[in-house]
């Protein structure tokens, strides 16, 4: 059998899949933090184009993908599914391992899947400039790439830790014409305030989001774009799983387990939601596992309650698994997973036990990443190594139990811009980091946001 299962450009799906249409319990509404009343979509209008706000709350099962978006998708999509024969052999497992490889995009990750439609709808509505945050730099790169295709200005607040670790991500964004600031920056009020309090902070996604929102809110032709967490972002990413279903059918196989790294949820949602649809519609029982870092374990050890999406408390209150909105994760290399909360859809799915979660420490994931690089050739992004670590654990379980299960991983990006992380790993500078219960308790004790009744 061939290693790569490919599709033609004609097979790029023409609709995104909206899982909320199928969920037995719908996500609770966001709350206005002033009044504690549910807020409607109109509250998001200063920040987002109307079409994206509509997608945020739509109850339709499918949303059409505009032709112009599919056309830009075709610059790298459909992405291949690989059968990981070499990894199976290395692990001596009876499990069959496949991975959907999103690293073939121009920016090297799955992020352009939502950056392109976000820039497209912004252009349709006359937006001149888009601001955003970025962790590992993958989202910022994706938005820079998308904005330049639609001739929109792009301004990126990049978590300082990643800015320092990954200078070349900045150059990549510059190549597509974007402006990049290390966050916290002196460009915004919230940035200046945080720098005054803690000049040595390495930043966080929460802080960078606050900066980008402040900047967008101050100008009527400027909008804000988010690379994960929100419903419309997850919606756009379902292109991944829909392609993967076609590819698994083509391979004459179907996963028993679907695995993806988890930061805010778009990576996981992208691959898993279309497979969950098969559970809903066709009564399948595909296990979907979200893989998160032990140093930022909101799904496995956080609380399910209302919390802010950003550090400064500028967003509506969202019902989510969270470690607390002022929690600053340890400076692990997987910058894209250093986020305190989980998107509301994924949170509800986990609450309802329709999905699973697994945490891996910093050392375990790099062990997994190097194994994967040796076997399959591709050096994975630090974020992607989390899903690989879960897959290896499941493949080893299959070996112990003598089961030939089929595993599908979202191999969400390559590590070409993350070699500093591997350098640290080979130099023995990466040590096991698991968040202590005291730290979690202290962070959650600081929360004064509403509880969600059982």
Residues 158-177 that bind a copy of itself (CB under 8 A): 167-168, 171-172, 174-177
Give the other-Cβ count within 10 Å of 375's Cβ: 17
For residue 104, state whether it binds a copy of itself (rule: CB under 8 A). yes
Residues 368-397 that bind a copy of itself (CB under 8 A): 370, 373-374, 376-379
Specify the residue, 166 or 386, whose C-beta has the smaller distance to a copy of itself: 166
- Among the residue ranges 209-217, 220-228, 307-315, 366-374, the one whose residues contact a copy of itself (CB under 8 A): 366-374
Specify the residue, 9 or 441, whose C-beta has the smaller distance to a copy of itself: 9
Report the C-alpha gap between 81 and 102 in whole angstroms: 9
For residue 135, state whether it binds a copy of itself (rule: CB under 8 A). no
Kindly determine how many residues on this chain lie close enough to bind a copy of itself according to the rule CB under 8 A: 40
Residues listed for the chain: 454
Nearest CA to 402 out of 23, 93, 26 is that of: 93
Report the C-alpha gap between 110 and 139 in whole angstroms: 9
Nearest CA to 12 out of 66, 58, 82 is that of: 66
For residue 143, state whether it binds a copy of itself (rule: CB under 8 A). no
Specify the residue, 187 or 418, whose C-beta has the smaller distance to a copy of itself: 418
Specify the residue, 12 or 344, whose C-beta has the smaller distance to a copy of itself: 12
- Among the residue ranges 1-9, 38-46, 59-67, 129-137, the one whose residues contact a copy of itself (CB under 8 A): 1-9
For residue 450, state whether it binds a copy of itself (rule: CB under 8 A). no
Nearest CA to 425 out of 349, 351, 368, 353 is that of: 368
**Site pattern 404..433 for a copy of itself (x: CB under 8 A):** ----------x-xx-xx-xx--x-------
Q: Using CB atoms within 10 A of its CB, is residue 383 exposed (0-12), middle (13-18) or buried (19+)?
A: buried
DSSP per-residue string spanning 100-150: EEGGGSTTSBSTHHHHHHHHHHHHHTT--EEEEEESSSHHHHHHHHHHHHT
Per the CB < 8 A criterion, the answer to whether 79 and 8 are in contact is no
Label the pairing between strands 96-101 and 406-411.
parallel
Among 46, 54, 61, 76, binds a copy of itself (CB under 8 A): 76
Specify the residue, 174 or 198, whose C-beta has the smaller distance to a copy of itself: 174
- Among the residue ranges 21-29, 69-77, 181-189, 395-403, the one whose residues contact a copy of itself (CB under 8 A): 69-77
Task: Tell me which residue has tokens 């993806």.
Answer: 260
- In this structure, what are the phi and psi dihedrals at residue 287, rounded to the nearest 5 degrees? -80, 130
Site residues (CB under 8 A) for a copy of itself? 2-4, 6, 8-10, 74-76, 86, 104-106, 108, 145, 148, 167-168, 171-172, 174-177, 370, 373-374, 376-379, 414, 416-417, 419-420, 422-423, 426
């Amino acid at each position: 059998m061939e290693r790569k299962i490919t599709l033609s450009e004609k097979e790029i799906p023409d609709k995104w899949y909206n899982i909320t249409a199928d969920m037995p319990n719908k996500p609770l509404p966001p709350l206005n933090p002033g009044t504690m009343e549910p807020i409607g979509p109109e509250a998001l209008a200063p920040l987002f184009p109307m079409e994206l706000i509509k997608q945020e709350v739509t109850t339709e099962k499918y949303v059409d993908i505009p032709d112009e978006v599919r056309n830009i998708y075709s610059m790298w999509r459909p992405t291949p599914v690989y059968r990981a024969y070499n990894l199976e052999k290395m692990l001596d497992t009876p499990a069959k391992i496949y991975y959907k490889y999103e690293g073939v995009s121009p920016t090297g990750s799955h992020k352009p899947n939502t950056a392109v439609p976000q820039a497209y709808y912004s252009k349709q509505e006359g937006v001149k400039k888009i601001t955003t945050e970025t962790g590992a730099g993958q989202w910022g790169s994706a938005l820079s790439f998308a904005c330049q295709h639609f001739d929109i200005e792009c301004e990126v607040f990049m978590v300082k830790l990643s800015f320092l670790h990954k200078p070349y991500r900045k150059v990549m964004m510059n190549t597509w014409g974007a402006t990049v600031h290390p966050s916290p920056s002196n460009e915004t009020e919230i940035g200046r305030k945080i720098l005054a309090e803690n000049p040595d902070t390495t930043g966080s996604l929460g802080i960078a989001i606050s900066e980008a929102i402040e900047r967008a809110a101050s100008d009527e032709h400027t909008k804000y774009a988010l690379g994960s967490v929100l419903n419309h972002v997850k919606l756009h990413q379902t292109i991944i799983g829909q392609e993967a279903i076609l590819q698994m059918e083509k391979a004459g196989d179907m996963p028993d387990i679907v695995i993806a790294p988890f930061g805010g949820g778009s990576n996981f949602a992208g691959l898993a939601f279309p497979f969950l649809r098969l559970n809903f519609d066709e009564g399948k029982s595909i296990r979907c596992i979200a893989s998160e870092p032990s140093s930022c374990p909101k799904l496995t050890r956080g609380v399910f309650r209302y919390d802010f999406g950003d550090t400064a408390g500028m967003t509506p209150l969202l019902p989510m698994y969270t470690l607390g909105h002022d929690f600053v994760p340890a400076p692990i290399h997987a910058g894209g997973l250093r986020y305190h909360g989980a998107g509301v859809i994924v949170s509800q799915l986990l609450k309802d036990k329709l999905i699973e979660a697994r945490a891996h420490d910093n050392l375990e994931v790099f062990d997994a990443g190097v194994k994967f690089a040796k076997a399959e050739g591709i050096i994975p992004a630090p974020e992607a190594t989390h899903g690989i670590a879960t897959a290896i654990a499941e493949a080893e379980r299959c070996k112990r139990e003598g089961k030939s299960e089929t595993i599908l991983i979202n191999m969400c990006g390559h590590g070409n811009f993350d070699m500093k992380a591997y350098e640290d790993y080979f130099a023995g500078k990466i040590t096991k980091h698991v968040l202590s219960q005291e730290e979690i308790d202290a962070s959650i004790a600081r929360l004064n946001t509403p509880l969600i009744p059982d």
